[in-house]
Each structure stands twice: as structure tokens, then as C-alpha cells.
Chain A
């Protein structure tokens, strides 16, 4: 990541935030708008960040993974389904069911990624086709089971979708409590501190995603594992010659990637909303791939790019909140279909490479033949 790309990211985020502040200041103080927008940005960027990390691990080891979308969708479904089964059939308490749901989601992601690994590493299928197979399989599988398990003749739920045990709670970071005394008796100061606190009060997967970004960076660039992963992605033959097991390293990294995608799936149905609907991932797996490319296959770069997409989604959400105070000359901002185009157009723009060319790992997408 060079200054040009980080500068571009900062610029886009500032523009998006400015639009919201300009529109919304009739209703709320600017600081509150900025902090709540920032909080939303971080939250909605979570699946993109995790998806991009998934891509980074797969592709750094030399396996192109466009099946992230499908992995997310399947994991979202099975995580949610697992939580429901634990809660309604095994009568576990809601909190335990939810946590087990996350575990199911991660395991589902791992299983789907094993299929991708088998296709692309063992069977040497064209990796983009393999990923497409995963995506189509995910739509078919979740659509079929979603209907069969709840409305089928042998359904234990007898034709209705039971309520999910709920979503993960927000974790409060006590910034307000710590700084309240510093404010003394000033009410504005206290309000500002509370506004800033909103940025840090996130749900567990959102928090975990940010930590995983830095953890992944450490793993990839500061450990032996990371060095070996990058070696098999750049020059598998050389890696093989010095005794690195190319097939094992690729399987392991695709598996790690699948678990990240699984956690991203859990975000949709266990952290964001407690329900599942067909096709709910809505292209975010593909957008996270664009984030990965724009981040030049590095965890921190990919995260920064994910935040741009998060911000454009937060823009859409905020335009709905401030719908009634949008000035008439800006009326196009009322059209959610038009504002909703932002992330997609941004993705295409970023991929043009105008903001600096990126280089994929040299052996990315090439099956290893001894």
C-alpha cells in the first residue's frame, strides 16, 4: 500500500462523510453524525473485511477464491440454523445457542473451503470455475434446505420458521465512564464523549474482524507460516525444492480462508439480524474480493478498502434516516437505488488501476504440477 492508495481511500471516505454531515446537520450535531456514521461504517464493513482476509489467505498461497460469496451464504444459513436447532430442539439457553451458531458458521465455511481446495488443488479444476460452482451450489443448497427443513412434509418445525435465539450483544467500552469526570459539569463535553464512545461500542464479530486484520498481518509477514504461505503462492517450485509441502500449505490456507468467510457469514444472521433470507449476502463476497485486490493482497490494505465500501453503505443507511431533511436540489439522494450504486461503481473504478496498479501473487490461480 502506497500513499496514493491510502490517500484515495481517505478522500472517498471524507467525501462520503461530508455529504452526510451536510444533509444531516439540520437534524443532528455534526460530531454525532460523524461518530454514528463511523460506527455504522465499521459495523457494515465487517463481512467485507473478513471476506477480504479470506481472499488474502487463499490467494497468498496461490488459490483464487471467487467462492467467498457462496461460502458466506452457506455459513450464514447453517450458523443461523444451528442456533435455532440448539435453542428449540436441544433446549439450550439462548446465549449458548448463539455462540454455537457462530461455531457452526465457521465450521460450514471450513467445509465449503475444503470442497474448493479439493477442486482446485487436488483435481486442478479451473479455480474461477470451481469458485462459481461453490457459489451456485450455495444458492441451491440454502434455498432447498430453507424450504425443506421448515415447510417440508417431515419438518420438525411443522411449517413455520421458528424465532432465532437472537443476535450477539453490543460490547460496551467504558470510555464515557472513564472521561466523564474530566468533563466536570459541562453537558456538551459529556455529550461529545458519549458520541465518540459510540464508535467503539461494537458487536463481537465486528471487533474481532479488526483484531484479525492485525493478527493476519502479523501471521503473514512476521512468522514462518506466513513466509511459507507466500512462498507457495509466488514460486511453488522453489518452495517445494526447499522442502515446503505445497499441497499442505495451500489446503491449510484455503481452510483458514474458509473459516474467515464462515465468520463473515455469521455476521449476517447471528450478529446483524436474527433471520435468514435467500441470497442475503447480495454480492458482498465479490466486493470483498475487490477490496482484497485494491489492498494489494495485504490485510491492512484490504481492511482500508473494505472501510470505503462500508462508508458507502453507511451513506445509504444515513440517507434513509435523513430522508426528510434532504434539500430539494440534492433530491437524487432520496433514491436508494441510485445511492445504492455507489459501492458497485467504486469497485469498478478501483479495478481500473487508475489509483495504482496492484500485483497478484505470481502463482495465483495456477495449479501446482510437480
Chain B
């Protein structure tokens, strides 16, 4: 009897915590959707029809659901990448670049490794190798920035952005040169198709949703476990909250900063790998435009919590996926989605606006996400 009562109050507490945590994001989404509707009406569209198209296009059928999951997969990985860095007090704007170099590396291992070795590999070896290559490259790409931050104080915000442009230039160079698909009909900057042995199998026959989606959910759980149940996670969070206190407590702050960036980059690189091995079977220039910034929005909307990120990744995926149907029904350009997403981000970041509009009192202390130039 006693224990039943306790568990009852515990579950109520958990429910309360969830509703507290999701109230502001929910209202932010609602406000952005209403404002988006006003914009649609303003430019001569029917907002109800547009949103109906959005929902039909993203959840209306098995195929639509599968496509939403396909979109959500890289969003979950990239969102986790940004969120993990946030937890460590770092702002990783470079998910875009880390994703691109990850995708290129996976593609390279995917199509060229058997050629180099001179014999073909079974899927059980080839596929993991391709994925690990992408992860490692993403980790190195972000790790450079982490090292610069830890040892020289170079600010990660600008450095990750610079690494984005370096990644873009380098992949353009490679995809137009040594790694270009040499098939006679090809004029696009893209790699050859990866071997069958490096491809991820589909979950259901005839649908594009692949095992990468399941992996994304698993990785989200893993990151939650890492952050909350391990020493490393504790160190990352402590450095994120107060590096001076962490230093005083004997945590190696420099090492933790570098590790945080490497892990964050590995997640972003994984997003690229999975896109190559699970979906496109090659890397094409410009396929990832915008994932990096969307990932920031997803991490913020999900309050850097893995479960929140999975949910917000689904929301963003649904919007991207449903946009085509919306465009078909109302002739609203797909770019409208970016507008609504930007508004969501605005209201989530500036939760003071939402609290002001809906008269909600702030609870608890402010979460420090980033610090000024001084580091």
C-alpha cells in the first residue's frame, strides 16, 4: 500500500516534470504555427489547406510515415551532436561540415576499399567499416576545433563555421576531382555508388526507411546513458556548467573539451555516414545544405535532452517531408517551412517572449548554453 502510493506520486512527479519541460516548447511551436498561418494568408494562400497538406504529406500513409522517419534519421544524429556539445558548454555550429566529411569518408570506404584490398568484403565487415570511417572523420573534424579551443582559446563558434567552409571546399574539390563518379553519363559532382556490401538493408520491403533509423533511436538512448550514468558524462556536464569548478574538482578540463567536441563531431559524422550507407548509397554535393542549422534548432527545441531531440527531430522531419504535399495543394513554396522553423527557434530561444505572451512564470535557474568570446 505504502509503496503503491510512493510510486504513484513518483509517476505524477515525472509527468509533472515532462509537462513543465514541454510546455514552453509546445507553446513556441503553437505560436510559430499560428504566425506561419498568418504569413500564408498574407501571401494569398489558405493556411488550413496548407497545414492539412503538411500533415497528410508527413503522416497520411505508410509511405509518408516511412519518409518522415527517413528525414528524421540524420536530424536525430545531428541534433544529438549539437546537444552533446551544449551540455559541455560548447556551441557546435559545424555539424554541417562534420556531416559532409563523414559522408565523403563513408562513401570512399564504401566504393573503394574492396578495390584497394583486391577482394570483396562481406557486409558484416564492410558496412561497419564504412560507418566507422565517417564517424572518425567527423570526430577529427570537430576535434581540431576542440583542440584549438582547449589549448589556444580560439572560439569554437567561429572555428566550426570556418571548418564548415573548409569542408565544403574540400568535398567540392574531391567530388569534382579524384572521387568523381566516372560513369560516362554523369555530369554531377558526386561519388560512384557504394558496393552492395556497404549498404544498410531496408527494414520493410518497398519502403525507404532503413536500419539507420533504429540505430538513431538506439544512439539517442546511448547518449542519454552516457550523459547521465557515466563518469565521462558527469565530467562533460560539469565542465559545461562551470569549467572553473570542474578544474578545481580535479577534472581535466582541456581533455574534456576536446573529447566533447570529438564525440559531437562523431555524431554529426554518423549522420552523414548513415545517409550514404542507408539512403543515397553515394555522396552528392549539396545534399546536406541546412542540416547543420536545423540541428541547432532541434537541439534547442528538444532542450538538449535526447528524448526531446527525437521528438523535435520528428517534428522537423514531418515539416520537411510534408512540405511537398503542401506545395502541391496550395502552391506555397517549400521555403515557407524554413520560415516557420526559424520562428519556432526564435520562440524557443527567447522563451521570455513566450512566457510574456502566455503569462507563465519562470521556474528554476537559467541554463547557460554558451559563453562569450573569452571562453
Contact = CB atoms under 8 A, between A and B. Distances in A.
Contacts of A139: 290, 293, 338, 342
Given A132-B93, A351-B154, A365-B373, A147 B293 contact: no
A344 B152 contact: no
A144 B336 contact: yes
Interface residues of A, number: 52
Interface size class of B (residues with CB under 8 A): 35 or more
Interface string B334-359: 01101111110110011011000000
Contact of B345 (A136, A143, A348, A364): A136
A135 B162 CA distance: 15
B371 interface: yes
Contact of B373 (A133, A352, A364): A364
A126 B346 CA distance: 12
Given A126-B349, A129-B349, A341-B169, A353 B159 contact: no
Interface in A9-54: none
Contacts of A176: none
Residue from A146, A286, A340 having most chain B Cβ neighbours under 10 A = A286
A290 interface: yes
Interface string A60-90: 0000101000000000000000000000000
Given A64-B373, A133-B345, A152 B331 contact: yes
Q: Please classify the interface of chain A as helix (H, G, I), strand (E, B), loop, or mixed, using the class held by over half of its residues.
A: helix
A1 B158 CA distance: 21
Nearest to B144: A348
Nearest to A279: B289
Contacts of B346: 133, 137
Contacts of A322: none
A353 B93 CA distance: 21
A160 interface: no
B350 A133 contact: yes
Contacts of B22: none
B331 A125 contact: no
Contacts, number: 154
Contacts of B372: 64, 127, 360, 364-366
Nearest to B162: A344
Given A148-B333, A154-B43, A364-B373, A348 B162 contact: yes
B173 to A, nearest CB: 4
B59 to A, nearest CB: 23
B155 interface: yes
Contacts of B114: none
Contacts of A135: 293
A348 B154 contact: yes
Interface string A351-370: 11110010010001110000
Contacts of A3: none
B60 interface: no
B64 interface: no
Contacts of B353: 123
Interface of A: 64, 66, 119, 123-130, 132-133, 135-137, 139-141, 143-144, 146-148, 151-154, 282-283, 286, 289-290, 293, 335, 337-338, 340-341, 344-345, 347-348, 351-354, 357, 360, 364-366
Q: Which 9 A-B pairs have the closest CB atoms?
A: A365-B372, A140-B338, A351-B154, A337-B173, A352-B152, A123-B352, A143-B335, A144-B335, A154-B44
9 contacts: A64-B372, A66-B157, A128-B370, A132-B93, A139-B293, A144-B333, A147-B333, A351-B148, A364-B373
Interface of B: 43-45, 91, 93, 148, 152-155, 157-159, 161-166, 169-170, 172-173, 176, 290, 293, 296-297, 300, 331-333, 335-336, 338-343, 345-346, 349-350, 352-353, 368-374
